[in-house]
Amino acid sequence: MNLGNTVRKSGKMVIFIAISFLIWGILFRLLYSNTPFTKTERCALISEWGMFVSANPESSELNADRTVCSFWEQFGLIVHADSTISLLNSTGGVVQLMNDSAIGLSVRQEDFLSAQRFRLIWEGKCAYLESAKNTFVSVDRGNNFLLSAKGIKKEAATKFVFVPVDHKRAWFGSYFSPVQLTFLSCILVIIFSSLFFFHFGKEKLSLLMLLFGATGLALFMIHLDPFPNQWDEQFHALVAKNLIDFPLKPMLFKNQFIPYDPQFWIANHVWLHKQPLFLWQMALSMKIFGVNEVAMRIPNAIMFVLMIPLVYRIASIVSDKKIAWYSAFLFAMSGYMLDLVSGYHIAEHNDVAFIFYVTISIWAYFEYKNGGSSKWLIIIGLASGMAILVKWLPGLLVYSAWVLIQFLNKEKRWKLSNYYGIAKAFLITVLVVLPWQIYILLKFPVESAIEFKLNSRHIFEAVEGHGGGFFYHFDMMRVLYGFEWIFIVVALVLVPYKVPKRNNRISVLFYVIFVYLFFSSVATKMPSFPLISAALVYLALGVFIVIFFEMFFNYFKRSYISGRIAKPIIQSVFIGFLGITVVNIEKIQNIHTYGKSNDNGSRQIRLYNAAIIKQLPDIAVKETVVFNCRSYEGVLIMFYTDALAAYEGVPDEPLLESLIDRGINVSMFDDGYLPDYVQNNDKVYKIREGYRVN
C-alpha cells in the first residue's frame, strides 16, 4: 500500500481510538467506584498494626493476631438503616460487648435480635469502631484482644481496614463489584456484537466496534489494581516517577543515604536495568495525568489497542480479510496480554512496549515487501530501534527473516545491491539506539557495564533463577495464547494453504519458529519472551479457524446449517466461545479480586499497605528518610510520597546520628521493637500507622 494512503487511514484509525479512550475515560471517571468501603456480605478486619481480627468460637474473645485471612477471619456484615453495622462470625456468632470491656462472641438467640451496633468513623480508607455505649474499640498490644472499655477514647483507639472477601452472591455469582461488572458486561456486549456485524458483511463497522470495545476492556484492566504490583511494576513505577524531573538520569532511589550495591537492581541509585523508552512513556503519562497507578498504565492500554489494527493489517497483507479479522479478535481477547496491560505479570510495561514496537517493525516489513515504497524502510528502522530501546537486541527480530528472504533469491544472493534496503533500515536503527548507549557509558560507566554484562549472561545462565527446560515456552503456549501447543503447531502447518506468496509464507513461519527456537535455547526463561511473534501466532490461529469453517460448512453444504442466516450466527457463536476461552474472565477475577479459594490474601495485604501509605502524614515522609519499612514496601512509599528514601530495617546508632547531624529528617515505623537509641531520640518521628507484614 502507498505510504501516504496508509498514513491517512492510520490517522483516521488513531483519531477513532483517541475518541474511544476519551469516551470510556469519562465514563470510568464518572462512575467507577473508589469509595473507602462498599457494602458487602462478608469482610475481613485488619487492625492498624497489620493483623487480621479472628473470631474462633472456641474462645469468647476476639483477637487481632492473625497474618492470613481464612475461615475464622471472615465476618458477616449487617448494615442497618442508621448506617451502623453489626458483625457475625463465619458460624453465626454475634460480636458483642462481653463484660463492659472485652469484645467477643455470643451464640445466645436473644443476642441476634439486639446485636451490638458499631458506628464507623472514617479516616481515609480506615475506620474507628465506636460502640453504642460511646466507647471505642482498641487492640490490647499485650495479648491482642479487642477491648471497648469506658476509658477508651478515639485518641487511644485502633483503626481498622474493612476488606471485602466475598462478592460471590452479589451479582450473577461474580466476584467483581456491581460497577465493575456493569462496565465489563457492556464492554463484552460491544465486542461480541462486532462478531455478528462482521459475519453479516459489515466489516468496517465491526472493526470499529471491536476497537471501541477493546479500548474499554484495556481501561477496565488498568483500573483493577489500586496499587503497583510488586514484580516488577512498582520498580518501573518509581523509576518513571523520578524520570519526570530527571529524564536523562534513570533512578530507583533518587537519594541514597546508606551504602548500596549497584548490581542490586531492586535497591540501587542509577537504574539502567532496562532500556529507557517504556519508562519515558510512563513518566510522560504521569506528568500529564498525575502520579498514580492508572496514569502509569495508560501507555499500556494505548499500545494494546493500537496493536489490534496492526495485527489486522499484517494478516490482511499476507492472507485475507476474514483471517485478519479473526486474528485481530483473538488478540483483542488475549487474557495474558490484558494482564500485562494491567501491570500484573513480571516485566509488564516493558513487555507491552517491546511487543508493540516489534509488531510495528514486522508490519512495516510486510508493507515494504508487498509493493510498498522505500519510505517504509524508515518505519522499519525506527520501530526496530525503539524496540531495542525497550528490551535490547531481540528488537532486531525483523531483520532475521528479511535477510533470509534476500539470501534465498538465487539470482541476487551475492549482489550487494540485494541488501541495500536492509542496510538503510539497519542504519536508521543504529542511529536511534547508539546515542543512549554512548551516553550511559560515558555518564554512568559502572552501572552501564554491569547491565551490559548482565544482558549477555541471559544466554548462558538462568539469571535470578528464571530457568526452564527446552520445552518451557511450548508448555507456556496455553497460558500466553489460550490454546494448547498442539493447536498452534497445526495452525502453523496450515499457514501455507492460506498465504499465497512464497516470501510471505517463509517470513511468517520463520519469525515464529526462530523466536521459539532462540528463546528455548537460551538459559534464562521468562513467560513473555516469545510474545514478540504474537501477531503471527494469532494469524496462524486465524488460518486454522477459517479452514475449520470451510471444512465444517462444506460437510453440511446441503443442510440448513449452511444457510444465509444460520451460517453467520454459528460462526459468531463459535468465535465468541473461543474469545471467552482466551480472555478467561475467571482467571482475571482470581488475580484482581477476592475470588481465590484462599481469598487472595496477598492482594488484601497489598491493598491495605497501599491505603496506609497513601495516608501517611507529611511529617512522617515529606523530605524525610524512612526506616524500618516492610520488605519491598520502601519502593511503594517513595512512589506515593515525597520521602527522600525508604529502607528496610533500623539504622545503627552511628548512621542515625550522622543523618540527624546533617539536618536530615528521619522517621521509622514503630513495630514495637525499636531499640532504645531510637525510642529515646525525640528527633526521630515514630510512625504508628501500622501496616501488614508480607
Report d(CA 193, CA 196) in Å as an integer. Answer: 5
Q: Phi and psi for 646 in degrees, rounded to 5?
A: -145, 130
Contact 479, 486 (CB under 8 A): no
What mean pLDDT is predicted for residues 146-175? 68
* Span of 139-143, 301-305, 648-652 with lowest mean pLDDT: 139-143
Q: Which of 507, 516, 506 is nearest to 480 (CA)?
A: 516
Q: Is the pLDDT of residue 180 over 80?
A: yes
For residues 405 and 425, give the distance between their C-alpha atoms in angstroms, rounded to a whole number: 16
Q: What's the rounded Cα separation, in Å, for the pair 454 and 592?
A: 33
**Per-residue confidence band for 149, with pLDDT thresholds at 50, 70 and 90:** low
Q: Of 336, 329, 332, which Cα lies nearest the Cα of 216?
A: 332
Q: Which residue has the higher pLDDT, 334 or 608?
A: 334
Q: What is the pLDDT of residue 689?
A: 57
Rounded average pLDDT over 401-420: 90
Q: Are 131 and 116 in contact (CB under 8 A)?
A: yes
Rounded to 5 degrees, φ, ψ at 32 are: -70, 125
Question: Element (H or E) spanning 163, and its range?
Answer: strand 160-166
The three-state secondary structure class of 58 is coil
* Residue closest to 589 by CA, chosen among 171, 160, 111: 171
Q: Which of 23-37, 53-67, 271-285, 678-692 has the lowest mean pLDDT?
A: 23-37
Mean pLDDT of the 263-288 span: 96
Cα–Cα dist 474/472, whole Å: 6
Residue 623 burial (10 A CB sphere; 0-12, 13-18, 19+): exposed
- Whether residue 331 contacts residue 355, with contact meaning beta carbons closer than 8 Å, is answered with no
Q: Cβ neighbours of residue 51 under 8 Å, at least 6 residues apart?
A: 64, 65, 66, 67, 139, 144
Mean pLDDT of 261-282: 95
Q: Are 66 and 156 in contact (CB under 8 A)?
A: no
Can you tell me the mean pLDDT for 439-452?
A: 96
Alpha-carbon distance of 424 to 507, in angstroms, equals 20
Query: What gap in Å lies between CA 79 and CA 88, rounded to an integer?
Result: 12
- Give one DSSP letter per residue of 622-639, joined into a string: TTEEEEEEPTTHHHHHHH
Q: Is 649 helix (H, G, I), strand (E, B) or coil?
A: coil
3-state secondary structure of 270: strand
Characterize the bridge pairing of strands 645-648 and 118-123: unpaired
Q: Report, as an integer, the average pLDDT of 181-187.
A: 89
What pLDDT score was predicted for residue 67? 72
What phi-psi label fits residue 330: left (phi over 0), alpha (psi between -120 and 50 degrees) or beta?
A: alpha
pLDDT digits (tens, 9 = 90+) for 363-392: 999 999 998 788 999 999 999 999 999 999
Contact criterion met (CB below 8 Å) for 538 and 331: yes
Of 147-156, 278-287, 373-382, 387-396, which gets the smallest average pLDDT?
A: 147-156
Residue-level pLDDT at 101: 66
Q: How many helices (H) and strands (E) does the chain have?
A: 26, 16
Per-residue pLDDT averaged across 417-422, rounded?
91
Q: CA-to-CA distance for 659 and 267, rounded, in angstroms? A: 19
The whole model's pTM is what?
0.84
- Partnered with residue 646 across adjacent β-strands are 626
- Residue range 340-344: mean pLDDT, rounded: 95
* Number of CB atoms found within 10 A of residue 123's CB: 12
- The per-residue pLDDT for 214 is 96
Q: Write down the mean pLDDT value for the chain.
A: 87
Average pLDDT over residues 28-54: 65
Place of cell 519515558: 280
How confident is the model at residue 148, as a pLDDT? 74
Q: What confidence tier does 529 reach under pLDDT thresholds 50, 70, 90?
A: very high
Query: Distance between CA atoms of 477 and 256, rounded to whole angstroms?
Result: 42
C-alpha cell at 631: 520488605
Return d(Cα 491, Cα 500) in angstroms, integer: 16
Mean pLDDT of 575-600: 79
Q: Choose the weakest-confidence range: 41-45, 475-479, 649-653.
A: 41-45
- Predicted confidence at residue 168, as pLDDT, reads 47
Lowest-confidence region among 102-111, 495-504, 663-672: 102-111
How does pLDDT run across 200-217, given as a tens digit for each residue? 989 899 999 999 999 999
The pLDDT, as a whole number, for residue 694 is 44
Phi then psi for 612, rounded to 5 degrees? -65, -45
Q: Does residue 484 carry a pLDDT above 50?
A: yes
Using alpha carbons, list the distances in angstroms from residue 163 to 41, 138, 142, 653: 11, 18, 25, 38
306-323 residue pLDDT tens: 999 999 999 999 999 999
Q: Quote the CA–CA distance of 265 and 252 in Å, as a whole number.
A: 8
**Grid cell 541471559 — which residue?**
458
Give the strand pairing for 42-47 and 684-687: unpaired
Helices (H), ranges, 72-142: 109-113
C-alpha dist (Å) from residue 151 to 64, 84, 102, 119, 139: 20, 22, 13, 17, 13
pLDDT at 172: 56
Q: Mean pLDDT over residues 596-623, rounded? A: 74
CA angle 298, 301, 304 (to 5 degrees): 150
- What are the beta bridge partners of residue 104? 61, 96
Confidence check: pLDDT of 651 > 80: yes
Q: What is the mean pLDDT of the segment spanning 357-368? A: 97
The confidence band for 618, taking pLDDT boundaries of 50, 70 and 90, is: confident
